[in-house]
Amino acid sequence: MAIQWFPGHMTSAKKKATETMERIDVVIEVLDARVPEAGSNPMLREMREHRQRPCLKVLNKADLADPAATKAWLDHFNSQKNMKAVAVSCKKPGEAAKIPKLCLPLAPHRGTVLKPLRMMVMGIPNVGKSTFINSLLKKRTAAVGDEPAITKNLQHFDLNDHMQLIDTPGMMWPKIAYESDGYLLAASNLIGRNAYDESEVAYFLGDLLMARYPALVKQRYKSASDEMDGVALIEAIAKQRGYRIRGKDFDLGKAAITLLQDYRTGTLGRISLETPASRAEMMHTATPVVETASDEEPGQQP
């Protein structure tokens, strides 16, 4: 089943961002380093390309991602025109401070007292935009929480006399084109929990982890074995941890949440769910989600 999530306030967020794009110089797109392409909003790309605005892609949460995969993504993004990329962990002191300076070469005509560099921070919910803003300003000015869609309004900040920053709400797009993208985003906690079934997402994640990171999985869950798929892995976790429903059947739902949390927090190790190569393969083989006449902005919430 395809996962879709487009809360109602994001329609107005898109309108405000489109209007503001005309008045900025550089887009800072904050991404989750573990899913940097699945988590890149295509509407954002359309908006900035329409206004011909350069982009600095910030691969945040790099401390949770596979270093080899992150390097491949940096090479991929840095090879593109009008774009630069950097990997950081904005929770670490000083990491965010280097980002504004990296924007200067993208807009060499700006960055003076008379012409301040105007940067707009964008991205989907829960990628760490507010953490980035707070770390950069060295004070808590943006709301932060470990759930998507905390920030709901534009916020303007003066970094100094020649740099300005605009923070935007996390913005999804109305239709996730590929089913696997919805699962990648849900597994990484980038979609509201009301939009998906945690067990289904955990089964998907388990399949992927057993295919790409079996050693890390077996190190964490001693009962895991190479021949297991996602369902078998969840069952093994429930048995190993003794998760039971009223002392009878194994609690697979609790085991599913355990796997999701262990991935999301980095307890499993440094893991990336996609690479440029796996993304290219997916785009070549996957069938886009078909929109039917009965579809009415699925996943939308007030």
In sequence order, what E strands does 13-88 have? 26-32, 55-60, 83-87
Statement: residue 150 has pLDDT above 90 = no
Average pLDDT over residues 183-199: 96
Q: Kindly tell me if the per-residue pLDDT of 91 is higher than 80.
A: yes
How large a percentage of the chain has pLDDT more than 90? 75
User: At residue 141, does pLDDT exceed 70?
Assistant: no
- Calpha distance 238→253 (Å, rounded): 9
- Is the confidence at residue 153, as pLDDT, over 90? no
Span 186-193, average pLDDT? 95
Question: Taking 60 as the threshold, does the pLDDT of residue 214 lie above it?
Answer: yes
Taking 70 as the threshold, does the pLDDT of residue 149 lie above it?
A: no
Residue 253, pLDDT > 60, answer yes
Mean pLDDT of the chain: 90
Distance between CA 84 and CA 58 in Å, rounded?
9
| pLDDT range class, residue 295, cuts 50, 70, 90 | very low
- Res. 301: pLDDT tops 90: no
Residue 174 has pLDDT above 50, yes or no: yes
**Confidence class of residue 233 from pLDDT cuts 50, 70 and 90?**
very high
The tokens for 46 are 């359309």
Per-residue model confidence (pLDDT) at position 7 = 80
Band of residue 187 on the pLDDT scale cut at 50, 70, 90: very high
pLDDT score for 142: 54
| For range 269-294, the mean pLDDT | 86
pLDDT of 163 > 50? The answer is yes
**CATH of the structural domain 197-285, one choice from 3.60.15.10, 1.10.287.130, 1.10.1580.10, 2.40.50.100:** 1.10.1580.10
Q: Is the pLDDT of residue 1 over 80?
A: no
Token pair, residue 127, equals 């990628």
Share of the chain above pLDDT 70, in %: 91
pLDDT of residue 299: 44
Do 203 and 260 touch, CB atoms closer than 8 A?
A: no
Q: What is the pTM of this model?
A: 0.90
Domain boundaries, the chain: 9-167, 197-285
pLDDT at 298 over 50: no
Residues 104-139 as b/e (b if ≥16 CB within 10 A, e otherwise) read bebbeebbeeeebbbbbbbbbbbbbbbbbbbbbbee
Please tell me the distance from the alpha carbon of residue 166 to that of residue 149, in angstroms, as a whole number: 17
* The domain over range 9-167 is classified in CATH as 3.40.50.300: yes
